[in-house]
Structures are given as structure tokens and as C-alpha cells.
């Protein structure tokens, strides 16, 4: 398999959502230009992206949607279910614990952790809140592979040090401080203010952004 450029990786989930919607509408075959229209790219970029994942398309027949869906699911690693822990039961942690959009995408929130004695022992929507001290034990017991960190940034290094002792494979970091991959643990940083900054950049520079799909009508708003 060829190395995949980051912007293509970023679009895989968008393709997957598109294919799920097509299947919901009983559309079994689709052309690159139809995909392009739905997600706002041009068709050359779509063909280029999908070509990274093998020859899915047949000239004149278009792409088989189920096959594309299955392959992208495997590539994204979401053909299996992942058990997830939320670390930090503040407002954001609680909202993510109750978020209904994770389960049907292959992610089960199975535990929540906090250091506030007033929260420990309670539950959010049926998910137990454990003490930070129990992280190692519960991660092992519940076979948790992903942690979502929603603590203040001041607690981040302490949490990372605890997680390094576990079999956690990836961290989604909402703590507001940008961190790099930690040994074998892959880290993805999510910064909510950054999302707004990227939006104001789009607003302020509508005409200055080089979209990859030169000549495409719609800007790739990823």
C-alpha cells in the first residue's frame, strides 16, 4: 500500500459517511463525479483519493458502494469495536460521555475518570465515574484502548504518565495543549477554539485558500 497523504486521510471519514448515506438510499453503485458532488470536491480528486486504496472502480460501472464502505472501514480501523474511556468528568467530558454519535461508528464509552471526590462513584448515563487512581486497573479490566482526555491542560502530563503504563493505543486530547505522539501511543489533538480560528480564517480569506481540487466549484471545507 502506498503512503497516504494526510489530507486524503482526513477525508476518509467523509467518504465513509457519504457511502453510508448512499446505502441508506439503496444506491449500490456510484461514479466519482457523483461522490464529488455530494462531498464538494472535484471528481479527479475523488479518483485520486480512492486510488490509494486499490482498484475499487470499474470504468463505466462506477464504484461499488458496499465494497468501498467495507474497505474504508477496515482502513480506518473501525470494522472492530473500540472501548473508550473519558478522562475528566467536567462539562465537556460529561457531554462526550452522553454523546449518541459514537456507538454506531464503532466506539463504546465504557468508563469515566475524575479526581473530584464529589464525582467519583456516581455515574453519567449508566457509565461509572472512577477515581484517576483506578485508571490502570479499569483500563485493563474493561479492555480500553482509547482515552479521551478532557481535563484542564495542567493535569495533562500527569494523565499521560499514568496512561503510558497501560495498553492504551491512542489518545484524543481535548485538554487544550498540543502534544505529540508519546512512545507507542498515537495522539490526536482536538482544540475547539482552533476550530473557530480556522472558521474565521475561512471567513477572512475566502479567496486565498488553495483547494486541492483546482477548478472545483465548492471549497473543500475540511
Nearest to its own copies of 54, 77 (CB atom)? 77
Interacting residues with its own copies between 29 and 58 (CB under 8 A):
39-40
Q: Closer CB to its own copies, residue 58 or residue 188?
A: 188
**Residues 43, 46, 52, 57: is their CA dihedral positive or negative?**
negative
CB-CB contact of 86 with 163 (8 Å): no
Pairing of strands 186-189, 146-149: unpaired
Q: Does 193 bind its own copies (CB under 8 A)?
A: yes
Q: Which is nearer to its own copies, 2 or 59 (CB)?
A: 2
Q: What is the distance between the alpha carbons of residues 169 and 42, in angstroms, rounded to a whole number?
A: 35
- Judged by beta carbon, residue 157 or residue 221, the one nearer its own copies is 221
Q: Is 28 in the site for its own copies (CB under 8 A)?
A: no
Is the CB of residue 114 less than 8 Å from the CB of residue 89? yes
Q: 60 to each of 19, 28, 39, 111, how far by Cα in Å?
A: 19, 14, 21, 49
- What is the x/- site pattern for its own copies, positions 105-144, by CB under 8 A? xxx-------------------------------------
Query: By CB under 8 A, is residue 186 in contact with its own copies?
Result: yes
Report d(CA 100, CA 112) in Å as an integer.
16
Task: Tell whether residue 98 is a contact of its own copies (CB under 8 A).
Answer: yes
Question: 59 vs 104, which CB is nearer to its own copies?
Answer: 104
Residue 18 contacts its own copies per CB under 8 A: yes
Q: How far apart are CA 109 and CA 13, in angstroms?
A: 20
Shortest reach from residue 64's CB to its own copies, in Å: 21
Amino acid at each position: 500500500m502506498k503512503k497516504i497523504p494526510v489530507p486524503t486521510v482526513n477525508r476518509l471519514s467523509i467518504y465513509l459517511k457519504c457511502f453510508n448515506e448512499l446505502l441508506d438510499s439503496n444506491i449500490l453503485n456510484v461514479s466519482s463525479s457523483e461522490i464529488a458532488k455530494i462531498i464538494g470536491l472535484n471528481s479527479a480528486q475523488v479518483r485520486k483519493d480512492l486510488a490509494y486504496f486499490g482498484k475499487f472502480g470499474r470504468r463505466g460501472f462506477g464504484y461499488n458502494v458496499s465494497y468501498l464502505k467495507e474497505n474504508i472501514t477496515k482502513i480506518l480501523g473501525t470494522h472492530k469495536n473500540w472501548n473508550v474511556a473519558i478522562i475528566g468528568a467536567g462539562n465537556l467530558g460529561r457531554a462526550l460521555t452522553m454523546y449518541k454519535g459514537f456507538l454506531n461508528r464503532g466506539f463504546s464509552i465504557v468508563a469515566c475518570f475524575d479526581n473530584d471526590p464529589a464525582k467519583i462513584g456516581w455515574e453519567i448515563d449508566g457509565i461509572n465515574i472512577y477515581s484517576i487512581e483506578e485508571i490502570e486497573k479499569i483500563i485493563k479490566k474493561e479492555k480500553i484502548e482509547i482515552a479521551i482526555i478532557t481535563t484542564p491542560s495542567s493535569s495533562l502530563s500527569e494523565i499521560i504518565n499514568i496512561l503510558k503504563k497501560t495498553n492504551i493505543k491512542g489518545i484524543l486530547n481535548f485538554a487544550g495543549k498540543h502534544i505529540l505522539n508519546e512512545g507507542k501511543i498515537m495522539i490526536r489533538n482536538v482544540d475547539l477554539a482552533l476550530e473557530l480560528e480556522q472558521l474565521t480564517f475561512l471567513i477572512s480569506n475566502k479567496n486565498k485558500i488553495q483547494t486541492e481540487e483546482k477548478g472545483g466549484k465548492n471549497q473543500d471545507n475540511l
